[in-house]
Amino acid sequence: MNRIIAMLLSLLLWAALPALAVKTERWEFTSAESFLRGELVNLRVTSDGELRPGWAAENLGSLAKQIWCSVADGRGTIYVGTSGPATLHAIGAQGPARKLWSFDEVAVTALAVDKQGHVYAATIPDGKIWRVRVDGEQGTAELAVTVPAAYVWALLFDKDGNLFAATGNEGRIFRINTAAGTAEEWYRVAAANVLCLAWDADGSLLAGASERGQLYRIRGRHDGVVLHQFTEDEVYRILPGSQRTWIAVNRVRARRPPAPAPRALPGPAEPTDSADDARTRPTPGAEATGVEELMAAAEMRAVTLLSGALYSREPNGRVDAWMSWERESVLDAVVEGEGDVWVATSGQGRVYRLRGPQRWELVFDFPERNAQTLTLSNGRLAFVGTGVAGVGYRIAATLQPQGVFTTEVLDARFPTTWGNATWVGEGTIRVQARSGNTNPPDDTWSAWSREQVTSPGGLACPPNRFLQVRVTLEGGADAVLKNLRVYYQAQNQRPSITSLRVDGEERRPARPPRPRTGEGRTAEGESEEEKEEPSATTSTPTTPTRKPSPIKQITWQASDRDGDRLVYRLFYRERGREPWIPVLLEKPLSKTSFAWDTESVPDGWYQIKLEASDEESNPVGQALTDERVSGWIKVDNTRPRVEQLQFADGFLRGRAKDEFSVISALEYSVNGATWRALPVADGVLDGLQEEFAARIPEAVAGSATIAVRATDEEGNTGTAKTVVEIPPKP
């Protein structure tokens, strides 16, 4: 109890430390989805987000390119039908699988066992049904009957020994007298394929069809009704139980119209075009050219997925949804005991056990893409066959005493300090970890750390970028892992300033030229950086294009690789002075712009320095910064002066003077009329002082007010006026 209280207090402390919480991160496994991303060995994941002991699956190896179907006899022997090649295998309670018979056909698509223990195997594409007599380790096959159909999808015996066959591509059900070798059409559905058969509690035949999602009840020859039409496209499995009937359905995302053909490559059932459905029912209209092309066609169809669902139907006709899968289709389903439904799906090779509506367990997650067929023996799940790789698995009868969960690889992006792992569960739980700098893990990774059996426990892994955790769970049926959390802190990464602009222009420091005398000094004693001024690379007019303002708009862009929140500080310095002077702010800036009011600083050339810091996201002493210095920026808030203004003999004379910026414009106005340009004495506006002397044609006899306006490059203007008396012309 004290340990539990300490754990709770530590978690509360983590939540109460905002500065540390930003950098100390937590990798959590608290849901079914998070556990499903790892690797499970002898463990199952529940819909409640728990790990519990599971069943062992013994790999029997690849029996063929694809396993299509399986069935068990009364003695516990499991029979498996395959394609590539089309064979019948037998699997006992122990030992390897043994081949009973090879057929000169494309695939074995359906199996059934009669009361004498004979195995009936349907092959495609010619509608042949074979009787295989099993004698010890050997089998002998003979053709029992040929039905007038391209494909046989399901076989089912009745209590009198008659064999019913569900076929395509004309949607017919045949009743077969196996002794006489005859077949009669029993019922025809409004679909291309009948995919499954089952017996209802009252002895009626239930059938599921493709394309329109219809469930049929057939009471006699040509006597049937539709019990239910699902929104999905196909009814794929029917599972009668003592209290209700379960129906597995699929939604098909691509269709092909049915077309009769004497021979065809196995492919998706009409109307599907899915290759994750490793059952790969034949596509009518495709001519058979061999098993190799069959397998290639199956691989090509892997790009199109089905979605699947499981429904229950009550005796009163009510249909309820139990489970749905968005990117997995149902390939097989069986009922165990009092109502546990096992479902095999395509796409990720998973096998689920459903205990009720939305109550599920993921029991197996095979590396093959498709869990193809399930078989019960002696009242329990005993065999799983997979699709594209054709691997068979013998399922253990009891829960395993130990299971292992290995997480996916965590990418912390940067070298990382690994902290404690915490967990909640029952039984013996042992936690280990390893780290490295490659993904997937290789020989350069650290060894698995020493097992931690008490939560919290330190992982003791080197500070690398990637981490993987392994959990061993022991303790029998009551053992459970409810959640797992790993704490870590990635190495702090330096911020990066990517641009700095003043008044919309990117101003970068110029590369200083070679020093002329001394190390880095000019003959006058100033560094070249101090003397550097912006130089134009293109011709620009000297007349200013903006209104004068003491406000310099500073903007920038910055980023942080580990997502820290950044704050900013600004500094300035005048040319010829070393110290950086902070722009006085109450607190660091969080936005990426600032209006610098330069009225309080003398006119001159200045540089701006921007500093970005991640201090608000890191503990004291662990923050990092980046900085960028602008090029030289002119600050000139002083107006030019117009001096010695006089008018005589029709000429206006004087000079314009500025202390810092070149005079860029000189204008005059008589009696408030339009401003007109004044010529300068040397012909070029290029100096801090400009002399002018010009005849004023507007000057007429009488009193006149003449104004002269000077403008510098920064847009500052200065004006002088003179009132003159102009005598009349003689």
Residue 245 reports pLDDT greater than 80? yes
Structure tokens given for 93: 């309670």
Q: What is the mean pLDDT of residues 401-424?
A: 96
Quick one: 257 exposed, middle or buried, by C-beta within 10 A (0-12, 13-18, 19+)?
A: exposed
Q: What is the mean pLDDT of residues 496-501?
A: 96
Q: What is the mean pLDDT of residues 577-584?
A: 92
Asked: is 495-509+544-635 a CATH 2.60.98.20 domain? The reply is no
Structural domain boundaries in the chain: 25-54+403-490, 55-399, 495-509+544-635, 641-726
Q: pLDDT value at position 541? A: 52
Q: Which residue has the tokens 């902290």?
A: 419
Q: What is the mean pLDDT of residues 320-347?
A: 93
Percentage of residues in the chain having pLDDT higher than 70: 84
Quick one: 622 exposed, middle or buried, by C-beta within 10 A (0-12, 13-18, 19+)?
A: middle
Q: Which of 462, 473, 306, 498 is nearest to 405 (CA)?
A: 473
| CATH number given to 25-54+403-490 | 2.60.120
Residue 44 reports pLDDT greater than 90? yes
Residue 532 reports pLDDT greater than 60? no
Between 522 and 190, the higher pLDDT residue: 190
End-to-end CA distance of the chain: 119
Which pLDDT tens digit goes with each residue over 58-71?
Answer: 999 999 999 999 99
Least confident of 81-95, 113-127, 436-450, 495-509: 495-509
Residue 303 reports pLDDT greater than 70? no
CA distance 134 to 136: 6
- 691 pLDDT band (50/70/90 cuts)? very high
Least confident of 135-144, 152-161, 191-200, 442-451: 135-144
Percentage of residues in the chain having pLDDT higher than 90: 72
Residue 299 reports pLDDT greater than 80? no
Q: pLDDT value at position 395? A: 97
CB atoms within 10 A of CB 140: 11
Confirm whether 495-509+544-635 and 641-726 share one CATH topology: yes
- 398 pLDDT band (50/70/90 cuts)? very high
CATH class of segment(s) 55-399: mainly beta
Q: What is the mean pLDDT of residues 517-528?
A: 41
pTM beyond cutoff 0.75: no
- The residues facing 486 across adjacent strands are 27, 421
| CATH number given to 641-726 | 2.60.40.650
Q: pLDDT value at position 512? A: 43
Between 429 and 513, the higher pLDDT residue: 429
- The residues facing 654 across adjacent strands are 692
Q: pLDDT value at position 135? A: 86
Residue 517 reports pLDDT greater than 70? no
Specify the 3-state DSSP secondary structure of 312: strand
Phi-psi region of 546 (alpha: psi -120 to 50; beta: other; left: phi over 0): beta
Q: Which residue has the tokens 């001159």?
A: 604
